[in-house]
Amino acid sequence: MDEARAPTAYEGDAVLARLLAAAGSPYEPAALRALIAGVLAAPPGPSPDAWMVLVAPQISPELAAQLRALAASLGQAAPAKELAPAERLARLRAELARQGIQGFLVPRADEHQGEYVPARAQRLAWLTGFTGSAGIAAVLEDKAALFTDGRYTLQGRAQVDGSLYELRHMIEAPPAEWLAASLGRGAALGYDPWLHTPGEVERYAAAAERAGARLQALAQNPIDAIWTDRPPAPLAPVVPHPLCFAGKSAAEKRQEIAAALAKEGVDAAVLTAPDSIAWLLNIRGGDVSHTPLPLSFAILRCDATVDLFIDRRKLAPGLAVHLGAAVRPSDPQSLGAALDRLGAEGARVQADPAASAAWVFDRLAASGARIRRTVDPCQLPKACKNSVELDGARAAHRRDGAALTRFLAWLAVTAPAGGLTEIAAADRLEELRRGGENFRDLSFPTISGAGANGAIVHYHATQESERRLEPGTLYLVDSGAQYLDGTTDVTRTVAIGAPSAEMRDRFTRVLKGHIALALCRFPKGTTGSQLDALARQALWDTGLDYDHGTGHGVGSYLGVHEGPQRISKLPNTQALMPGMIVSNEPGYYRTGAFGIRIENLVIVTEQAAPAGAERDLLGFETLTLAPIDRALIEPKLLDGREIAWLDAYHARVASELAPLVDDVTAAWLTAATRPLSQG
């Protein structure tokens, strides 16, 4: 908040009503309270007053002060009495009994199957206390279990009452197995069809069948019935994403995708992924943390028009003009009726069974529509960035690299004293990023892990968990930002004091994997799954590995994780294509000791053809610019080609970043990037 602005007291509804009327606002105080409740349910954006554009096009200083005061008072309203987890579970069981069912599934997913979910949809966290980004609870009459993946075993144990929930590993002891063994014959297991994909529903149906039970779709989510102080849907302003960043107009995008649908004989596509809709319409919002998404649904017709299902209160002034007449906003509640109409028209409608809720398919089937199950048509074009987006990414990465390098230079001076904490380090890095042009937000909560905390892949420092950066340890920092012109994501691992021989050996093997990917050339049509082993071989050779993917797609001022491409052990049929942005992030983690990860973002690019080449080759252009800690490299483990890559990368980092940093940082940068071949 602006320190110069003194807080003003709220002067009452009469004063507010007068100010609203004078500003030409359509709101009265009661409706405004509902709007503000939605605003408060969204994460705070970079400008605390930005939401006021939703109230009136011009806000006088007096009105602004009153709005600020009202929002502050609503934000500080005493929360309803906190229920203990046992009481929540008991109330859920009572509700299940009332609905006549014997069990219920509580996934982490929301109605959009997204990674970041609004407070309103955090049902799993509300019920169990577990806040990880992947998990599902199964609640039966006499037992309950929480399933999380390996990343969250420790967190689950810390957050969840083991006397209420069995804690299980999602892969090693899948929910379907547990359900098949635990459900009684004849039992009905309920689920909310908005919160599961059709494939998940099939899996749970099969599990229930094995137990002689059955799976039952519920019209009302039992959690919603008992969660009395559930937040409203978030209402952050939806704004245009200008052409100077998007590189292609929304009209062009709509027409291209619609033409592809028409060619397949498809009348309409149902879009339920907010990032696809944001990309298609060149809009951005702020309904969830770290990803500038307006939550919405859409139906794209083969005539290139769009029905956009969105709370119209959150459309910023001028957005209707930006959207144009071919985009028809309507209430989210009217989606079902729109699907019914498609059925009545006998339309052929496509939806993505991997990304859309079973509810959509059920409703389409009931409406009589002919359903085509296929991937979201925006996914691939969104992933292949155009030249404007790529130039934006390069610019954003220069700025981001300068901020990170200033942080690393500061760390080199500050850390050896031994007093620096993980949170203080992360705060410092965030502060340096915030100063950058076009900065909007972090792209995810910074992972700032010292010593053994660095070995926790998705570590989040808290005051209870954080460590100091101590000599003889490693410090791992994985961070990124949302800039209007691009999204960044970078990990560096730094030796605090002198590293051990083991640390250097492991770091160098991780680096070999990173370089193997950075240098590889491959024919068009190659998938990330095919390349994954290149990043692991140096670790495999000595009996080591890491339990996460090697690379994920990254959006353009959108999700820091986006598909369809991946570099991963898991099979993936999506070829890497020119313009895709993907991370290159091998790692190694010794539990209880240290963690290592080296992450750059890269662009898939076309490569010049060698003499005699018969295939078109692709390779990677590195976007991320920041020194890789020379103190952690064991040169004997690198071959000439690897050393040449590192030296060329460091030379580029130095030349691109030196002009952007202060003199002290520049001097440190020169030393940090001197060629390895010169010892």
Residues at the contact surface with a second copy, assessed by CB under 8 A: 180, 206, 209-210, 264-265, 348, 370, 372, 502, 520-523, 526-527, 529-534, 537, 540-545, 569, 571-573, 609-610, 612-615, 617
CB of 596 to a second copy, least distance (A): 14
Cβ nearer to a second copy, comparing 296 with 529: 529
Cβ nearer to a second copy, comparing 330 with 530: 530
Q: Are 399 and 660 in contact (CB under 8 A)?
A: yes
Q: Are 376 and 271 in contact (CB under 8 A)?
A: yes
CB of 383 to a second copy, least distance (A): 18
The torsion region of residue 264 among left (phi > 0), alpha (psi -120 to 50) and beta comes to alpha
Q: Which is nearest to 75 in space by CA: 43, 47, 50? A: 43
Cβ nearer to a second copy, comparing 209 with 229: 209
Cβ nearer to a second copy, comparing 249 with 537: 537
**Residues whose CB is less than 8 angstroms from the CB of residue 582 and which lie 6 or more positions away in sequence, other chains included:** 528, 551, 552, 553, 554, 565, 566, 567, 576, 601, 602, 604, 620
DSSP 189-210: EEE-TTSS-HHHHHHHHHHHHH
Quickly tell me which residue has 């309409």 as its tokens: 268
Question: φ and ψ at 527, to 5 degrees?
Answer: -100, 165
CB of 52 to a second copy, least distance (A): 50
Cβ nearer to a second copy, comparing 252 with 547: 547
Q: Which is nearest to 581 in space by CA: 387, 441, 355, 393? A: 393
Cβ nearer to a second copy, comparing 126 with 522: 522
CB of 622 to a second copy, least distance (A): 19
CB of 427 to a second copy, least distance (A): 34
- Residue 598, classed as helix, strand or coil, is coil
Question: φ and ψ at 565, to 5 degrees?
Answer: -80, 150
Cβ nearer to a second copy, comparing 52 with 516: 516
CB of 262 to a second copy, least distance (A): 12
Burial 1-24 (b: 16+ CB within 10 A, else e): eeeeeeeeebeebeebbebbeebe
d(CA 170, CA 176): 10
Residue positions counted in the chain: 679
CB of 543 to a second copy, least distance (A): 2
Q: Which is nearest to 382 in space by CA: 359, 355, 407? A: 355
CB of 657 to a second copy, least distance (A): 31
β-pairing, 439-442 vs 370-373, is unpaired
CB of 506 to a second copy, least distance (A): 9
CB of 541 to a second copy, least distance (A): 6
Q: Report the amino acid identity of residue 598.
A: I
CB of 576 to a second copy, least distance (A): 12
Rg (alpha carbons) of the chain, rounded to whole number: 26
Please, which residues bridge with residue 479 across strands? Answer: 490
Q: Report which DSSP code applies to 316.
A: P
Cβ nearer to a second copy, comparing 180 with 258: 180
Cβ nearer to a second copy, comparing 135 with 619: 619
The torsion region of residue 431 among left (phi > 0), alpha (psi -120 to 50) and beta comes to alpha
Q: Which is nearest to 221 in space by CA: 84, 337, 124, 354? A: 124
Q: Are 133 and 155 in contact (CB under 8 A)?
A: no
Cβ nearer to a second copy, comparing 67 with 517: 517
CB of 265 to a second copy, least distance (A): 4
How many other C-beta atoms are found inside a 10 Å radius of the C-beta of residue 62? 16
d(CA 531, CA 527): 7
Cβ nearer to a second copy, comparing 24 with 612: 612
| 112-114-118 Cα angle (round to 5) | 85
Question: Quick one: tokens of 434?
Answer: 């915030």
CB of 149 to a second copy, least distance (A): 15
CB of 211 to a second copy, least distance (A): 8
Cβ nearer to a second copy, comparing 100 with 543: 543
DSSP 623-646: -------GGG--GGG--HHHHHHH
Q: Which is nearest to 134 in space by CA: 98, 164, 109, 112? A: 109
CB of 530 to a second copy, least distance (A): 5
Cα torsion angle, 551, 556, 561, 564, sign: negative
Q: Which is nearest to 53 in space by CA: 43, 42, 39? A: 39
Q: Which is nearest to 193 in space by CA: 183, 204, 180, 185? A: 204
CB of 163 to a second copy, least distance (A): 30
CB of 260 to a second copy, least distance (A): 14
Question: Quick one: tokens of 264?
Answer: 């397949």
Cβ nearer to a second copy, comparing 159 with 527: 527
Cβ nearer to a second copy, comparing 128 with 182: 182
Cβ nearer to a second copy, comparing 327 with 576: 576
Cβ nearer to a second copy, comparing 614 with 663: 614
Cβ nearer to a second copy, comparing 152 with 589: 589
Q: Report the amino acid identity of residue 387.
A: S
β-pairing, 188-191 vs 297-301, is unpaired
